[in-house]
Structure 1
Amino acid sequence: MNSNVFKLILLGASAYALFVFLVISFYPDKPENMDWKDREEYNKVQITKLRLGSTLDEVLALLGSPDITEARMEKGSSVQVMFYRTHHVRADGMTTLDECTPLLFENDKLIAWGEGAYQSFQQS
């Protein structure tokens, strides 16, 4: 009797471990699939990994689509600011600029991020 119970417990634990392994392996956690709290934390961590000169495609691969974006042409150069939600300000169901970290790109190269990046975008 004890041998059968032990086998069933071992079989159940093995099946559970296999299920967890399969879910982790075949269902990657993409930023687009996260709820807003997890996405904020994910964005904060990933933004710390950024390097000046990273391409727009590299940043999109790392962070996914931005929450808000602005762009314009300036003296033959494309200038774009992408905003990623990184901190909660108010529970209104909307993501606003004051809840985001801006990333500034010129000709698809990351040149700055943080509040100063957006201020320089607005002033130029």
Structure 2
Amino acid sequence: MKKLLLISALATPLLTGCIVAVSDGEVDHNWAGHSNWQKTQKNNREKISELSIGADYQHVLNTFNTPDFTELVKKGDSVYQVLYFATNSRHSDGKVTKDECTPLVFKDAKLIGFGSAAMSEIL
């Protein structure tokens, strides 16, 4: 086990592309039985519709509540950040998955787009 940890620690700086994802694929909001989730998601959709290409990462992050999921990818000389916000849950089970979220994609801290089309830029 110690050898595996040592190898991982030594190999990490050698990676040219790295993905950091926060979450196990599902977030528990404890929304079950409440209409709050619908209001929150409607609010997220409205905020997303007002975004402009080139918007600053920190400004956008300050505009929203905490993202449901986040990802960070370095590809070549650029850093891509993805913020996922719940926008289209089908029922109030209290859990949110990535397919119920809209991704906001940033390249070098500037918004390049949102949704699946923007995600294709980093895949």
Fold match by TM threshold 0.5: yes
Q: 1:91 to 1:64 in 2, by over 3 A?
A: closer
- Deviation of 1:49 (Å): 0.7
Establish whether residue 56 from structure 1 lines up as the match of residue 91 from structure 2.
no
On the 8 A contact 2:86/2:102 being kept in 1, the answer is: yes
Gaps of 5+ in 2: 1-34
Counterpart residue type for residue 48 of structure 2: I
Q: Percent identity?
A: 34
On the 8 A contact 1:56/1:109 being kept in 2, the answer is: yes
What RMSD, in angstroms, separates the aligned Cα atoms of the two structures?
1.7
Partners in 1 of 2:122 and 2:37 — Cα distance? 26
Partners in 1 of 2:91 and 2:77 — Cα distance? 38
Q: Residue 79 of structure 1 corresponds to which residue in structure 2?
A: 80
Partners in 2 of 1:96 and 1:79 — Cα distance? 21
Give the aligned length: 89
- Deviation of 1:35 (Å): 3.2
- Deviation of 1:95 (Å): 1.0
Per the normalisation by structure 1, the TM-score is 0.65
> Which fold has the larger relative contact order, with Cα–Cα distance below 8 Å and residues 6 or more apart in sequence?
2
On the 8 A contact 2:83/2:105 being kept in 1, the answer is: yes
SS of the residue corresponding to residue 57 of structure 1 reads helix
Gaps of 5+ in 1: 1-33
Partners in 2 of 1:119 and 1:72 — Cα distance? 13
Counterpart residue type for residue 47 of structure 2: Q
Partners in 1 of 2:90 and 2:102 — Cα distance? 13
Counterpart residue type for residue 81 of structure 2: Q
Partners in 1 of 2:121 and 2:61 — Cα distance? 22
Partners in 1 of 2:41 and 2:122 — Cα distance? 23
Partners in 2 of 1:42 and 1:59 — Cα distance? 14
- 1:12-48: CA deviations, max 9, x gaps? xxxxxxxxxxxxxxxxxxxxxx932221011011111
Partners in 1 of 2:109 and 2:66 — Cα distance? 15
Instruction: Specify which structure has the higher proportion of helix.
Output: 1
Establish whether residue 117 from structure 1 lines up as the match of residue 118 from structure 2.
yes
